Amino acid sequence: MSMKSPTRMHSINRSAREQDQQTIDFQVEGFKEVRSVVLSRVGHILYNLDPTTKQKADMLLSVALEIEAQMDNRFIVIRSPLQMFNHFSIPIEVYINENNSKRKIGVVEPGKRFPVPLYVAHTQDLFVKPEGEYKLCTKAIAWKELIALKKQGKKYVSYSCDWKEEGFTPFCFNAITEMDKLRYVKGSSIQSPKYIIHLHPPVMLRNLLPYPIYFTLAGTDKEVCVEKAGQASLLHVVMGKTMLWMTIKDYMNMDWQGEMTMRETLKTPLSQWGFRGARQGQDNVWLEVGVWADYSSGYLDMAIYSPYWLVNKTEQTLRYRLPLLMKGSGSEVIEHAADTKEPILFSYPSKKSTPGKNKTTITMQICDSEWSDKFSLDTVGSSGFITCSGKGQNYNIGVKNQFSNFGLTKIIVFTPEYLLVNHSEHDIVCRESGGTDHLQYDVPTGQCIPFWPVDHTNQRTLVVKLKGQKQFSEPFLFTDPHTTVLKMEEVGGITAETQLTETAKVVAIHGFKQGNFTVKLVNTTDYEVKYNQQGVNDESSLGPNECILYTWQVPTKDRQLVLKVADKTLKNDLVKDGIGEIKITTNKKAKLYWVSFLDGRQRVLLFTEDIVIATKAQQAGELEQVSLELNLSLEGVGLSMVNNYTRTEVAYIGITSSGIIWQAKQRRRFRDLAGGQVQQIEAEYQKYEAEQQLDKNAPPAIYKAGNMEMDFENLVMYNPKRHHIKRTHHPGVWAQVRTSPHQFQFHLKTHRIQMDNQTKTPIFSTVLAPIPPPKSVATENALKPMIEMSLLMGYAEHSNVQQIKIFQVLIQEMHVKLDQGFLSNFIHYLQPDTEIEGKEVELLEDDIEVVTSPLIKAEAVQAALSMDRNYYDNFHLSPLKIHVSFSLADTGAEAAADESGFQTRKKPGMKLGKNAVNLLLQSVGVTLTNVDDVVFRLGYFERRCKFYSQPQLTLELTKHYSNQAVKQLYVLVLGLDVIGNPFGFVQGMGAGIKDLFYEPYQGAVQGPEEFAEGVALGMRSLFGHAVGGAAGAVSRITGTLGKGLAALTMDDDYKRKRQQAINRQPKTLQEGFARGGKGLVMGFVEGVSGVVTKPVQGVKKEGAKGFFKGMGKGLAGIVAKPTGGVVDFASSTFEGIRRATEVSTEVKKLRPARFLHPDNVVRPYVLYEATGNALLQEIDKGKFALTDDYVDHLQVMKDCVIVLTDRRVIYLVKQDVLGGWNVAWQHPWKELKEPPVLTDKGIQVIPKEQEQPVKRGPLGRPLKIANLMKGKGPQGKVVLIADKDRERGRRFAAKMQETYAKALKIIQ
């Protein structure tokens, strides 16, 4: 393609106001100049070229323009509409026929696009071959033929290139056609080659095993190695004929052979492939690996993986077998040697391998033990212990189940229950203290080894000594969490610590460090202090002005320190700060004080006669004056998540402020009044404001509301108690930071967080929002923020240990509603495809590290070894109550196909990732369907007076919440949408009982005086739950049947419209009946009419084949649609009943979805544009939104709106009963006789055709537009504009004229 430079080009460095005027002119040699190409809208545009000579007039040629925007720049590419993309790793040469020979016209580099020359693209077929000694492909690549075959349902066409010599395998490839995404076509695109021809290998092979694989194709003598996480293109495959031989070498000291014929009927997405291995004295050992296959991109994309990796870290021999095979031969037992560092590739037999169906379990054996109870390998995310009973010893084995990074393999890690870790500077020896004949464990410094206890009593203890020494330490427990300092004469002492996790119990031995002793006793009095451990008779004394380091004399006994001063006895557990007075009976004037405090990690117990010293030690930082105070107050915060490539706002996260509240001054602080009082006072205040407007000099008056009396002039409440009051509100975010030399304070309040699903036709419009309490409870309680956090932290000058005196987090009840379409868009937004590519090796190496890492690298061990610890006086996270809903429908996802049925191509990583999500959902144990309002209740997390490192605290939190979440997974089974939601029904009926056990506890965390409020919540919610629960369950049952019947129609358009109708849930009982009635009528209408319309649509789309498919859809719909209408009528009616009795209020979206202009540039949010675009999306269930771009709209009366798009003008009338909008009339711009004009009466629109059919409503009555439309004759239609809206009408008419002119310019 030859092209002259543009004759004229306007500057592109203009302000945003001038952007609409940016244009470019260009000319292709031999054709007339193309003028005024607007650059403000990005995308691909197709232009028909007008030839300058008559010789070329008989052929219509087109050219494509690519306009891209980056920041404030525009990048323009002018090219042929036909392109070729090379997906091979070698260059591809392109040829054409010329004078009975082949002429090379270009080379397509690997991973690049090649624009086919303009004239060639329209007139000739293409021939290709790879670089090298290959012949040209045996048949030509003709884009018209490819399109015709694709419309018939054939996704790809196979080609081959023979080697120049006989006897060699040909080079094979698939050609897949993708339609170019054209934003606009100027002229005709019917005969234009507006396509991308993708050249793919027939098979793409990926290796997701932890071993290299080797393969050989029939007809080739070369063995190809595919490394771990590698991939290979199979270039010499003829589907259905070529045999593939594969070898896994040196797995379990054997080579494994498998063979498969490459065919199009390979089971998708998951299947298994058998391999045979040979072992001395035993033939045909069988191994099955998993095969993931996908044909959606026009070639076979397959990955070899193992469904399970079994990892043995017990340092003992393990054996596995299936329970169904227990009576079989020994060959059915898989042995896992103790010294094996590689995983066992395990799979269930093929018939049992489908996730979510026919779950099969295994049993295991360790050493000479009995076989364990059976357990499942499919519960991803779970962990626990498996017991194998032996002779005189029981083995407890920790099991952790996790997904691999690719999501296809479950990694099962087996570890000992107990681990011994030596974190000291000396080699140590440990043994159980039950007898001298017990096995001793040598633990070198810096090592971690398994420990298998023999003693199984409740009080199991260990003793430890330095290697080479004779004397063992005092026994200490290894079954309960604790930290104990043990006396060790040679080195002064060592620290033994036990930490419990879900998969291991870690016993760590640390070296002694200064400041780590149990307590430091300091006596500055003139009295002797005697001390001993509770239950130990060995008493010691501490003289005046002496200090000593003390640890527990018998670590296994009660940890209470008994102290005797003069004639007084006191006890202290040495875990928390405190202060107390000791009165001496013999000397009434003498007073002693004890104080317990932390000095770094060292607990100090001080005895003194000076109260000043005692109080300063106890309140070292609490009496300090604040040196810095920062306050942050934000009315609201909004985060808009926009995918500008797809012109979609995915989600909007908003933090909003409260409404008006009233506060009363109590004890020098203003405190919120209860919700009921706020409503009453605000109502009286509005009366006061109205009276002030009428008479500003009116004398002050007392306003009464219930038992309250207020003077708004002076803002004073007189009854029931006298308080100063004020009218205010809570900001969306309020935070306060206060610091002093030894303290840090942080207080955060977030009033309300809401996350909206902004995608088109969402199942749930709101993803995350708090659930307000019932009105009866809100009336009696003050408004609470959704999230509140309070932190008070102290720190010493000479220590790195921080003392967290208070850390409290309170989170209110909330709902989370997700659908698969939103999840797909959200994941695609957060993780673009480019981030996945090239990281396969790194991801697989991370999985292999799980297998090969030593025990000391385990998460639980690393947490135990972390020595940077902080002290937590009070760490409290409130209970979580989350209502979860999930839908498998994906109507909110971006459309995957264009109007012609050409599927949008996705990268392999996306397909594999989507499969992983589905596999994860299936691993719950059943095939997941819709989940509706399932309640998860996670209890509070609290720790008091404990030392924790950051990894330890994280591990504790994870353990706490994951345990509860796994235990509550049963609600997914009862909450499934298969038979409605019986759990929701039962939970609703029993909520009065359940709430009594939950809400009062939440109130107790907030303060004892609020305990009764929780009781009130439980009692008052009973009626609403009983009636609403019954109606809601029936609604969900009928809704499930409706979805099944909609699927039976096989009509995607019907299913889409039905879902959009369901999304607009009835707000009242009357609306529920009305909408159900409309669905009932339309079900019969669409069912009968579909018998005629569906075959006609099928003929237009697929010819004769489409006729019969359409006939099938029509016949299925004539039964399913009316029946579905009946079911939807029942569902809508019951939904109306449920909402009428529902206690909680409906959550509305914070704002309409952002409108993105056609140029894909993200601009500041404009509510007016977003509202108009949302209206366009709603019109006729999104019919016009599929083809038109919103321009402007104008509300001319309360229930009438005129909407402008780039293609038409639409007049809408609001429906009274059913809600929504009806199209009274609409005209494409090309059907108007002249531009719209503003007259004395309103905006005049004159169509070319004067006679228009009368639009009627659903009940057959004419729509009420007669009073708005005048002049059905030559004057056309006049949209009446009121005098007060004259200026708005003038601007709108000017916009109509501008849009009309642009549309005609493009059409011409």
User: What pLDDT score was predicted for residue 1266?
Assistant: 41
- Most confidently predicted of 343-347, 906-910, 1177-1181: 343-347
- The dihedral over CA atoms of 619, 620, 623, 624, expressed in degrees to the nearest 10, equals -160
Residue 170 scores a pLDDT above 80: yes
38 membership: H or E segment, kind and range: strand 34-38
% of the chain with per-residue pLDDT over 90: 28
Q: Do you know the residue count of the chain?
A: 1308
Q: Which residue has the higher pLDDT, 1046 or 978?
A: 1046
User: What pLDDT score was predicted for residue 751?
Assistant: 92
Enter the DSSP assignment of 1127.
H
Strands 182-186 and 43-49: parallel
pLDDT tens-digit map of 502-516: 778 899 999 887 777
User: What pLDDT score was predicted for residue 67?
Assistant: 87
Q: Which residue has the higher pLDDT, 592 or 213?
A: 213
Average pLDDT, the chain: 78
The Cβ-side half-sphere exposure at 1165, using a 13 Å CA radius, reads 14
* Of the candidate ranges 353-357, 406-410, 688-692, the one whose mean pLDDT is the lowest: 353-357
Q: Which residue has the higher pLDDT, 1111 or 403?
A: 403
Q: Write the DSSP string, 920-965.
A: HHHTTSS----EEEEEEEE--EEEEEEEEEHHHHHHHHHHHHHHHH
User: What pLDDT score was predicted for residue 1060?
Assistant: 56
User: What pLDDT score was predicted for residue 6?
Assistant: 32
User: What pLDDT score was predicted for residue 507?
Assistant: 93
Residue 1260 scores a pLDDT above 60: no
User: What pLDDT score was predicted for residue 1021?
Assistant: 42
pLDDT tens-digit map of 546-602: 999 999 999 989 999 999 988 888 999 888 888 888 888 777 777 888 998 888 888
d(CA 369, CA 388): 6
Q: Give strand ranges (E) for 1187-1266.
A: 1190-1197, 1200-1205, 1208-1214, 1221-1228, 1237-1238, 1242-1245
Confidence bin at 1164 (pLDDT 50/70/90): very high
User: What pLDDT score was predicted for residue 756?
Assistant: 94
Q: What SS3 class is residue 1174?
A: helix
pLDDT tens-digit map of 1085-1108: 555 555 456 555 665 555 554 555
User: What pLDDT score was predicted for residue 1056?
Assistant: 57
Residue 622 scores a pLDDT above 80: no
Show the tokens assigned to 723. 């308080």
Across the range 278-302, mean pLDDT stands at 82
User: What pLDDT score was predicted for residue 212?
Assistant: 93
Confidence bin at 1084 (pLDDT 50/70/90): low
Q: Give strand ranges (E) for 118-181.
A: 127-130, 157-161, 171-179
Contacts for 736 with CB less than 8 Å, ≥ 6 apart: 629, 630, 631, 632, 745, 746, 747, 748
Answer for the pair 1099, 1110: CB distance below 8 angstroms, yes or no: yes
Confidence bin at 69 (pLDDT 50/70/90): confident
Residue 943 scores a pLDDT above 80: yes
Confidence bin at 1216 (pLDDT 50/70/90): confident
Across the range 940-951, mean pLDDT stands at 85
Residue 1012 scores a pLDDT above 60: no
Answer for the pair 742, 621: CB distance below 8 angstroms, yes or no: yes
The number of angstroms, rounded, from the C-alpha of 621 to the middle of its chain's C-alpha atoms is 43
User: What pLDDT score was predicted for residue 631?
Assistant: 93
User: What pLDDT score was predicted for residue 465?
Assistant: 92
Residue 57 scores a pLDDT above 60: no
Residue 312 scores a pLDDT above 90: yes
User: What pLDDT score was predicted for residue 83?
Assistant: 95
pLDDT tens-digit map of 460-506: 899 999 998 888 999 999 988 888 999 888 888 899 999 888 778 89
Backbone phi, psi, residue 204, to 5°? -115, 120
Q: Which 3-state string (H, E, C) describes 782-795?
A: CCCCCEEEEEEEEE
Confidence bin at 951 (pLDDT 50/70/90): confident
Confidence bin at 968 (pLDDT 50/70/90): low
% of the chain with per-residue pLDDT over 70: 75
d(CA 552, CA 532): 9
pLDDT tens-digit map of 255-270: 899 999 988 888 877 8
Beta bridge partners of 863: none
User: What pLDDT score was predicted for residue 984?
Assistant: 37
Across the range 1257-1286, mean pLDDT stands at 61
Q: Give strand ranges (E) for 939-1094.
A: 941-949
User: What pLDDT score was predicted for residue 888?
Assistant: 75
pTM of the model: 0.75
Beta bridge partners of 66: 44, 77
pLDDT tens-digit map of 195-207: 999 999 999 999 9
User: What pLDDT score was predicted for residue 224?
Assistant: 92
Across the range 309-321, mean pLDDT stands at 93
Confidence bin at 970 (pLDDT 50/70/90): very low
- Write the CA distances from 1066 to 471, 1061, 1198, 1220, integer angstroms: 80, 10, 22, 12
User: What pLDDT score was predicted for residue 1019?
Assistant: 32
Residue 1001 scores a pLDDT above 50: no
User: What pLDDT score was predicted for residue 213?
Assistant: 95
Q: What SS3 class is residue 328?
A: coil
- Write the CA distances from 522 to 466, 531, 547, 599, integer angstroms: 31, 12, 4, 13
pLDDT tens-digit map of 814-824: 899 988 888 88
